[in-house]
Amino acid sequence: MSKPFIVPPHTRTIVELGMGDGRVLGALAEKDPETVYIGIELDEAQCAQARSRLNLQNAFVIQGSFGDIVPRFPDDSIDGFIAILPDQSFIDEKKEGQWHPFYEAVHAKLKRPGAFRLVTEMTDELLQPVGDDAVDLWTVWLVETFRSMGFRVAELKEGSPAEYSSRCLDQFRGDPERIRIITVDFVKS
């Protein structure tokens, strides 16, 4: 008698960093049953919501810090990572020294040509409208920072993917002058 699979046979593995209540993860997993989707979330209540929402064989929830969990994956084992509105401690320019090693680990875990989709936001410290020049400077910094880790930009666009929905993302879309969202698709080069 053979043992049942813990993870169903699959062609790809995608990991969402800080998946919140699992809305995006569930939507992606439902559309793509050949791919295993793993969501990592620190907040216990969000994990509980995600687990109750995700009734799919190809979607898994891990409760914990993605900063602790991602380094445990084998190198060159993940097809894609997704980070939607990561906490500022994982993307803020002033704290780059703190988060830079984490994204180097993400790069190491990606297969070639693995992808990393980053959906992030820029706001003004005084919550004033954010001008195009500020967004352009920030975007150049962001791209150059990830390029220094070995990523290459496949696509960059203002806004977030229309099919992505989360409490914060939906709220931020309602204030596009003060909360400027960009989506960058990086690939491992």
Residue pLDDT, tens place only, 112-130: 989 999 999 999 888 899 9
Residues 41 and 50 sit within 8 Å (Cβ to Cβ): yes
- Cβ 74 vs Cβ 111: under 8 Å: no
pTM: 0.91
**Residue 131 maps to a domain:** yes
Domain assignment present for residue 5? The answer is: no
Does residue 127 lie in a domain region?
Answer: yes
Q: Specify the CATH number for the domain of residue 168.
A: 3.40.50.150
Contact between 186 and 114 under an 8 Å Cβ cutoff? The reply is no
Please indicate, yes or no, if residue 6 is contained in any of the structural domains. no
pLDDT tens string 28-37? 999 999 999 9
Amino acid at 67: G
Q: Can you give the residue range of the structural domain that contains 34?
A: 12-188
CA nearest neighbour of 181 among 130, 140, 137: 130
- pLDDT number for residue 8: 53
**141 within 8 A of 93, measured Cβ to Cβ:** yes
Residue where the block lists tokens 């979330």: 41
Indicate whether 3 belongs to any domain: no
Question: What is the total count of domains within the chain?
Answer: 1
